[in-house]
Amino acid sequence: MHLNADFSQRAVVHAGSLDWVPSPMAAVHRRMLDRIGEEVARATSIVRYAPASHFSPHIHDGGEEFLVLDGVFQDEHGDYPAGSYVRNPPTSRHTPGSAAGCTIFVKLWQFDPADRAQVRLATDRTDFVPDPDRPSVSILPLFRDAVEDVRLETWAPNASVDIPAPGGLELLVLTGSFDEGGEHFVEQSWLRLPPGSVFAGISGPSGCRVWAKSGHLRVMPRAPG
């Protein structure tokens, strides 16, 4: 499967309006944003676990990165309530599930094979800090290395927000809304801009909170294997 697989082009998915698609595991459904491959795939998705659902134990050969959007995600390492950010690098292993049900935003097979950086961060216990270069923006860092910068951003109401993206940019709306490129983005709307772009948006009347990742699209992606 190839979905939004041309990373030289702008891509948009208003995922909140999509139907949920069953996964191979009962009671686990997803909304696909981009994908290269079949069940083993380089993929960006929103995944919903019904109460008492789970996946089988597995190893992340290509790594996994996710943000819990609602509910409580669980594995043998702990419970991760809404707002939890987790980075499971290549060779990590777990048995994911949710007793109460949850929704996560997840990226698979998007790590350098040598990356071993593990992150488990409760963002509800971490303060946003003002961005000194953008007065209407506050930032909560999630992960940063020589390749990519992952963070949450909060934008003040009705603010003009510019983000240079020499290495590409992805945004997922968590709360609120923004307008960009003649489109209106609301909760679960996803935008990917190619390297060399500049994001120029205006937040909605209640402001906006987004998950953001930049710099990671300098190297064009490949399918697993």
Measured CA to CA, the distance from residue 163 to residue 131 in angstroms comes to 12
CA gap 4, 185 in Å, rounded = 18
The CATH number of whichever domain residue 94 belongs to comes to 2.60.120.10
pLDDT-based confidence at residue 78 (cuts at 50, 70, 90)? confident
The reply to whether 21 and 116 lie within a common domain is yes
Q: Which of 103, 123, 143 is the last residue of a domain?
A: 123
**What is the rounded distance in angstroms from the CA atom of residue 225 to the CA atom of residue 217?**
19
Element (H or E) spanning 84, and its range?
Answer: strand 84-88
- 180 and 114 in a common domain: no
Q: What percent of the chain has pLDDT over 90?
A: 79
84 plus 153 within the same structural domain: no
Domain end, chosen from 57, 90, 123, is at 123
Domain boundary among 123, 155, 181: 123
Q: Domain span at residue 144?
A: 127-214
State how far the alpha carbon of 211 is from the alpha carbons of 24, 53, 66, 93, 173, in Å: 27, 26, 11, 25, 7
The answer on 64 and 156 residing in a single domain is: no
Whole-prediction pTM: 0.95
Whether the per-residue pLDDT at 225 is higher than 70: the answer is no
Same domain, 103 and 132: no
Average pLDDT over residues 117-135: 94
41 and 81 part of one domain: yes
Is 188 in contact with 31 (CB distance < 8 Å)?
A: yes
Q: In the predicted model, is pLDDT for residue 3 greater than 90?
A: yes
As for how many domains the chain has, the answer is 2
